Each structure stands twice: as C-alpha cells, then as structure tokens.
Structure 1
Amino acid sequence: MGNNKNLFGDFETVKTTPIVKWIGGKRRLAKHILPKFPEHLCYVEVFAGGAALYFLRDQQAEVEVINDINGELVNLYRVVKNHIEEFLRQFKYALSSRQIFEWLKMTPSETLTDIQRAARFFYLQQHAFGGKVGNQTFGTAATRPAINLMRIEEHLSEAHLRLAGTYIEHLDWAKCISKYDRPHTLFYCDPPYWDTEGYGVDFGLEQYHAIADTLKTIQGKAILSLNDHPRMLEIFKDFRLETVQINYTVGGSGKKSVKRNELIIYNW
C-alpha cells in the first residue's frame, strides 16, 4: 500500500485491525493517508488512540512506536503485548451487559491489577457509545448484535503478535516527538479534534500552535490529521494542506450518514 519501503529492504506484511473502539478513529481515513507515507525507518504514532493506521498498514517499519497520554490505554496495549493469555482469561465468561458496564465505570482503577485494569478499560471502550473516553454511555444498535466477548481471542492474538516488536510509550506529545526525532522518522499525529468532546483530556488552542511550531523544526517527516475547522486552517496555513471528505455513520445506525471534511497536513 503506497510507498512503504524500509530503507534497508522490504517490510514484513503484518496487517491487522485496531483492538479498541476510539472516538475519532481513523479507519475510514486510512486509505487516504497510508498511500501518502514517505520512505522511513522509524514510525511513530504520537497520539495513538485506537492506533488505526498502525494496525491497518500492510507493512511494518524497522522501528515502530505507539504513544498516548492516556495511561489506561497504554496499560491495555502493554498487557496485550506481554500478558495476552491472562488478559483473555478475564473474558472467559463475560457478557455484554448495561449493568456490568455501569459497575465497571464505578470501579476505581487503582484497586485493580494491571491486567484487571486493562480488562476493565477494554470492556468499557468496546461498549461505550461512539468510542468515547469521557462521559461514557452504554451503546446499543438495532442493526447489529451485541459484542460477543468470548470470541475475541483470535483478534487479540493477532494484535499481540503485531505489538511484539513495538515500543509502547506514555509520554506528552512533545516529549515523544523529541525522543524519536531523526531524519528517517515518520510521525503520524492525530491530536484531539478542535472544539469536539469525548476524548477525556483538555487540549487547548495553544497546543495546536505548539504542534505547528514543532513540526516546522523537526528533522523527520510528519503527517497530521485534524477536523477541517477555520482555526486549524489558520494555525497550519504555512504547511501543505489536503482536504478529504469522509462519510460517517450517525449514532451507529448503519443507515443515516453525514459527510465531514478531514484536514491532512504535511510538513514537507
């Protein structure tokens, strides 16, 4: 898919799918962004979230990094990477249930082991309406069955193998970029979209200005995706910009959809 060659040869084919629902996930945008990847040795997803591009790309970079400020998400990726069998045992008799969803929301994560924390977080994200991290509500749909948690082994086993050689970081975005910035690095940045809710973190306008300043000075190449908003167009006006129209399903109905413009920004 696209120009995804390793500087030292061909990549291994390792395509899988994201393991967790996430607000603003990039599954629909992947086919537009992945072919634009330039040659690189190190690949870094700075705001990993559901890490859609990482999981969906056909070929693997020599060095790969997924980073996020959300500690629960980072713990999930680390547990799937290092403790997959015990993690899967947490769902041996699990059912999709609104009541269980509410109980888990009330359970303090600090009372749990890392594996239990990962299972709790995974359950909540799989069932949360719209993949929201904050202000979660139990999601249902009249067009698809409930999630069968007893059939997740195959999918998560693939993710376990995919994550095996990946660095999983829990850093502020600026520290992540600084740590891995090299001429052969490709950064994919998917920060919270401006003027939207549900990410569970505050991300003020000053952060976007800081990202723009950073991407002007780094050694590596970077691709940034954002909502097509006048303020974002102004902040990133000095970069090469591309607008892509994507159809999004409203409320998971499978019928009603809206068209939304996505902004893709390149620093080269």
Structure 2
Amino acid sequence: MFSTPNIPVQPVRPVAPWIGGKRNLARRLCAMIETKPHDLYLEPFVGMGGVFLRRRVRPRCEIINDWSGDVVNLFRCMRAHPGALSELTALMLASREDFDHLKRQDPTMLTDLQRAARFIYLQKLAFGGKVTGQNFGVRTDGPSRFRPSQVGEDLLAAARRLESVTIENLPWADFIQRYDRASALIYLDPPYFGCENDYGADLFGRDQFEHMAEVLAGLKGRFILSLNDRPEVRKIFAAFQVDSIDTHYGLAGKGAQLAREVIITPR
C-alpha cells in the first residue's frame, strides 16, 4: 500500500508563537507520526506548524490546512514570497505604539504580503501567543521577541520546507472528506475543549467534537488526535485509544503549570 519511504527534511522553527502550540509535545508527536506508515500526510489545524515544521521526515505528499485566513495567507506568502516578506518585516521594530496601530488595522484592506507581515508581528509580540484579545508583551529578562533578522531567517527556512506542500483553507471536516484515503495519516490539533473561541469567533464550536468523533470513526486512513485531558473529551472519544501524557503550560512571566493532555488513536 505504501510505495515510498519517508524523505528526510530539516526541522524548522515556527515563525511565531501560537496559543496551544505543541512545543512541549512536538518531539513525542513527531516520533509517533514517523512510526505510522503513510504516503499522504494531512493536517487540518496547522496553526503555526508547531508539529508540522518540527518533523524530521516526510512522505511523498503533504497537505496542510487551517480555517483561519490569516494563517493560510501567511503560509502561502512564506512559500511564494519569502524574500519580499522578509523585507517587510525587516522594517518593523518592537513598539507598543506600532503594535496597537497594526492591531487596529483591517487585514482585509491590506495586500497579502502586508497582511502576512502584520500577522507575524502581532503574534510575535502578543502576550502568550494569543490570537484574540491580544496585548503587547514585553520581555524583561532578554531581548525582544520580535527580532527582524531572526524572523527573516525563519521565513527563508520555512519557505524551503513548504516548497512541495499543498495549502488549503477549508473547514476541517471538508478538508478530511476531500483528502481521506487508505494511505493517509491525519494529525489533528483542534482547539482545546473549553477554549473553542481562543482562535476567533465562529471558527470552531464545542459541538464539533462530537462530529469529529463520528468523522474519525469512518476514516479510510489513520489518525492521531491531541487534546487537553478532560472528562468530556474522554467520553466523546471513548471508542478510541486514549492515552494521557503529562506536560506543562506557561505564559511569559507566569512560570510553568503542570497539565495533562491526551493522545487519541484508533484502537
């Protein structure tokens, strides 16, 4: 069924923080992905690519997706125009006034490149990597989180990684329905249960978890799903293998807080 071996790739840093990013679990998740034979890799909730960009091997075909227009626009600009995007971000400095000005802008009135540069800037400087309700974050123990030279290096590295990747902007269920097949492995990283609006209103509702369990039960391919460990999550996905894993969450200046997540796979 699986015709090609995995191809080595260079891991890449995500270009900006993302609330709910998988930095602490990425190594374990990437190792799990590597052990699952597949010719097609699918990621319906790619976010900033916290798992996708950190993988060390890839199959012959990869397709990533996010329902956020800002995320998809950024990935497309990183792939197609990394030099021009780097030039735009090189003109930016870490400033509360600039942050508030860009936050007030309507991204739909900007060019794709301007929109992508704005998105990177806000995500890099937003306290805790928040997507909604952003506040200007200041480090008092090191250099600013927005350093144009580092942003430019990360953009160019991401561009090389994305050269052969297809990027979609679909609702997660439509994305899976379109691309699911026996040779596919799907990694799902939806919003945490109880935090559905953290990525924007109307992007993902709590009712979607029940629907997700139904979709996963009917897949042709394989899947790995990561979520926060909640009794409701365990009940909704009780038909599958649910394994708990200890991790920690943390915001700048607030320290780390122990937490537990679950990794859900077919039985």
Separation (CA, whole Å) in 2 of partners of 1:242 and 1:140 = 37
Which residue does 1:200 correspond to in 2? Answer: 200
1:163 aligns with 2:162: yes
Identical pairs, percent = 37
Question: How big is the shift at 1:139?
Answer: 1.2
Contact 1:45 1:51 (8 Å CA) reproduced? no
Which residue does 2:148 correspond to in 1? Answer: 149
Which residue does 2:256 correspond to in 1? Answer: 257
**2:157 alignment partner AA:** E
Question: How big is the shift at 1:222?
Answer: 0.7
Which residue does 1:124 correspond to in 2? Answer: 122
Which residue does 1:3 correspond to in 2? Answer: none
Contact 1:67 1:170 (8 Å CA) reproduced? yes
Mapping for residues 165-204 of structure 1, pairs under 5 Å: 165-196=164-195, 198-202=198-202, 203-204=204-205
SS at match of 1:52: coil
Structure 2: give runs of 5+ residues left out of the alignment: none
Which residue does 1:84 correspond to in 2? Answer: 82
TM-score of the aligned structures, taking structure 2 as reference length: 0.93
Question: How big is the shift at 1:53?
Answer: 1.2
Separation (CA, whole Å) in 1 of partners of 2:153 and 2:38 = 30
Mapping for residues 1-268 of structure 1, pairs under 5 Å: 7-37=3-33, 38-146=36-144, 147-196=146-195, 198-202=198-202, 203-249=204-250, 251-253=251-253, 256-268=255-267
Contact 2:99 2:122 (8 Å CA) reproduced? yes
How many residue pairs get matched? 261
Separation (CA, whole Å) in 1 of partners of 2:164 and 2:39 = 14
**1:185 alignment partner AA:** A
Structure 1: give runs of 5+ residues left out of the alignment: 1-5
Separation (CA, whole Å) in 2 of partners of 1:230 and 1:7 = 40
Deviates more, 1:120-129 or 1:8-17: 8-17
Separation (CA, whole Å) in 1 of partners of 2:24 and 2:240 = 23
Separation (CA, whole Å) in 1 of partners of 2:86 and 2:16 = 14
Contact 2:17 2:129 (8 Å CA) reproduced? yes
Task: Give CA-to-partner distance per residue, 1:22-75, whole Å, 9 cap, x none.
Answer: 110011111221222211111111111111111001112211111000001100
Contact 2:40 2:183 (8 Å CA) reproduced? yes
Separation (CA, whole Å) in 2 of partners of 1:164 and 1:64 = 11
Contact 1:93 1:150 (8 Å CA) reproduced? no
Question: How big is the shift at 1:9?
Answer: 2.4
**1:248 alignment partner AA:** Y
Contact 2:186 2:221 (8 Å CA) reproduced? yes
SS at match of 1:225: strand
Q: Root-mean-square deviation (CA), in Å? A: 1.4
**2:89 alignment partner AA:** F
Separation (CA, whole Å) in 2 of partners of 1:49 and 1:256 = 24
Separation (CA, whole Å) in 1 of partners of 2:139 and 2:155 = 24
